[in-house]
């Protein structure tokens, strides 16, 4: 994720943020292909008949020129947290590698291996990306530990970003969030 992919709708005359952060919609009002426009075209939409409106990237220095009412800032903090949670969920589903074998980290894999570990299964044939591998109980335990460490790392990342978001006093502070 890149913060420069996210924009807010602004009132260019009053210099105020009037909507929540989001990726640019493909079509907005009478404008098709909004994501294909340059930031210069997006920041002032007079050319499209939208006086006093524009889209500003939350990673742009221009965002510093705009204020955000307290309720808008809180909405945007919550919206950004939701986006971060979605990214964490995607990160969780990244595969791990165990002895050169790629293993899924989805719930089905996690739970089935954990059950095998708890049952003390001596050996199991397990399908990993269209190939079967035989794992002994010790290996199953190691794989479970690696998967759980990966999942915890994702949650730790999410929490660190949440804390950064909470510390933002204005929307332009989002620019300093380290992902």
Q: Residues 70-106: pLDDT tens digits?
A: 999 999 999 999 999 999 999 999 999 999 999 999 9
The per-residue pLDDT for 47 is 94
| Cα 161 to Cα 158: distance, rounded to the nearest angstrom | 5
DSSP secondary-structure letter at 79? Answer: H
Q: What is the pLDDT of residue 28?
A: 93
d(CA 67, CA 79): 17
More confident residue, 132 or 30: 132
Q: What angle do CA 3, 8, 9 make, to 5 degrees?
A: 160
Residue 136, pLDDT score? 96
What pLDDT is recorded for position 3?
84
**What is the distance between the alpha carbons of residues 14 and 67, in angstroms, rounded to a whole number?**
9
Cα(30)–Cα(20) distance, rounded to whole angstroms?
A: 20
Model confidence over 29-78: pLDDT tens digits?
Answer: 989 999 999 999 999 999 999 999 999 999 999 999 999 999 999 999 99
What one-character DSSP code corresponds to residue 6?
Answer: E
The whole-angstrom separation of Cα 158 and Cα 165 is 11
pLDDT at 1 over 80: no
Grade residue 26 by pLDDT with cuts at 50, 70 and 90. very high
* pLDDT for the residue 179: 86
Between 179 and 34, name the one with better pLDDT: 34
Q: What is the pLDDT of residues 147-166, one digit of tens each?
A: 999 999 999 999 999 999 99
The alpha helices in the chain, defined as continuous H runs, are 39-42, 70-92, 107-119, 137-166
* Eight-state DSSP code of residue 60: S
In this structure, the chain runs to a length of 179
- pLDDT score for 6: 92
Among the listed residues 55, 47, 54, 46, the one whose alpha carbon sits nearest the alpha carbon of residue 6: 55
């Amino acid at each position: 994720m890149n913060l420069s992919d996210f924009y807010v709708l602004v009132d260019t005359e009053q210099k105020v943020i009037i909507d929540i952060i989001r990726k640019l919609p493909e079509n907005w009002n009478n404008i098709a292909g909004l994501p294909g426009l340059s930031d210069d075209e997006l920041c002032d939409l007079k050319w499209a008949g939208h006086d006093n409106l524009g889209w500003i990237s939350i990673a742009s220095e221009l965002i510093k020129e705009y204020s955000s009412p307290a309720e808008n800032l809180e909405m945007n903090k919550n919206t950004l947290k939701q986006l971060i949670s979605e990214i964490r969920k995607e990160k969780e589903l990244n595969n791990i590698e165990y002895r050169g074998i790629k293993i899924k980290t989805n719930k089905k894999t996690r739970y089935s291996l954990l059950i095998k570990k708890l049952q003390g299964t001596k050996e199991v044939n397990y399908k990993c990306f269209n190939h079967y591998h035989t794992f002994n109980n010790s290996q199953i335990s190691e794989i479970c530990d690696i998967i759980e460490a990966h999942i915890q790392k994702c949650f730790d990342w999410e929490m660190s970003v949440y804390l950064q978001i909470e510390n933002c006093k204005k929307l332009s502070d989002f620019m300093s969030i380290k992902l």
